[in-house]
Structure 1
Amino acid sequence: MTSPDADADADADVRASDDRAATRHADPAAGWVGDRRRAFRRRLVALVGAGMTIAAGLLVHRVLPDTAASDIAGDALYALLVYLLVIAVAPRLRIRLAAAIGAAWCVAVELLQLTGLPASAGASFPPAMLVLGTVFDPRDLVVYLVTIGFAAGTDAALRRIRTDRALTARSAR
């Protein structure tokens, strides 16, 4: 028979082991994958990418003439930024779910423009126009969805490459 202290220590060891396993193998039904270190790297890469995307978006907004091409470029950069921010906030989220959340945000913001609220917010606070836009354009919806699809596809391809390299490195040991 063991003492109550030994039982408590054993229970704590089992819980700690379960917690470590949970960080390595997440519940697929919950839509989460990966361990903490991989999540940290993924978040860091997403934040660096978001910063670069913001810089590119501001460059397009300030430097390029207002044409259909610059509008499309701005919309694509906005959608990419949204996808990267979803990944930064929830780096363990599955790629399809991150893409769905990003697409839903972009579509919701574009549809909000039908109400006129973003235009009035932009009149009061001009930087709001960069986040909420001003005028509804159905072409924007297409650009958002194509861009997020491309970003998610690229993300999935890079993940496959990293996974293949890790498996090759492990089998070589």
Structure 2
Amino acid sequence: MLRTDWSRRLAALAAAVAVLAIALLIRALADGPLEQHSGTALYASMIYAGVFFLWPRATPLVAGTVAIAFCWLVELSQLTGVPAYLSERSLLARLALGVAYDPLDMLWYPVGVLPLVAVHLLLRRQRATA
């Protein structure tokens, strides 16, 4: 079982790196709403992968719920001004926490997670029937 957990963690890490590469590519090539909204959705996708890195035995539905809830909490925390303060002092904080609340982001987080949950459930179902 321990070996399976590590292989799941490595797969989650690889997925997060792939999503980050896609996000950076879009950022380099696009501008405006595509850059903004795709970045938001891909951030949520990375959080989904991160849940599996930290908790490899999570189910897709639980991981999706945790990822969306985490993203929403980070977004709502921007209403306090703390992320903006930290973002002024750290690029890492800016990338992880953002700067300003955007209610539209609350809709884009599920866009980044729900397709992954659906694909993950389909793959699990196929594996179970094989």
TM-score normalised to the size of structure 1?
0.69
Moved more, 116-125 or 79-88: 116-125
Residue in structure 2 matched with residue 55 of structure 1 by the alignment: 21
Is 2:48–2:64's contact at 8 Å kept on the other side of the alignment?
yes
Residue in structure 2 matched with residue 111 of structure 1 by the alignment: 76
Give the gaps of 5 or more residues in structure 1: 1-34, 166-173
**Partner SS state of residue 50, structure 2:** helix
Q: Which has the larger radius of gyration?
A: 1
Is 2:43–2:112's contact at 8 Å kept on the other side of the alignment?
no
Greater length-normalized contact order (CA 8 Å, ≥ 6 residues apart): 2
**Partner SS state of residue 138, structure 1:** coil
- 1:98 CA drift (Å): 1.1
Residue in structure 1 matched with residue 8 of structure 2 by the alignment: 42
Closer, same or farther: CA 89–64 of 1 in aligned 2, 3 Å: same
**Partner SS state of residue 36, structure 2:** helix
Closer, same or farther: CA 64–122 of 1 in aligned 2, 3 Å: farther
Q: Does 1:89 align with 2:57?
A: no
Query: What is the alpha-carbon distance in structure 2 between the residues aligned to residue 66 and residue 115 of structure 1?
Result: 28
Which among 137, 142, 145 is matched to residue 110 of structure 2?
145
- 1:42 CA drift (Å): 2.1
TM-score normalised to the size of structure 2?
0.90
% same residue: 35
Q: Does 1:78 align with 2:43?
A: yes
- 1:124 CA drift (Å): 0.7
Give the gaps of 5 or more residues in structure 2: none
Q: Does 1:67 align with 2:32?
A: yes
- 1:65 CA drift (Å): 4.6
Closer, same or farther: CA 38–161 of 1 in aligned 2, 3 Å: farther
Number of aligned positions between the proteins = 130
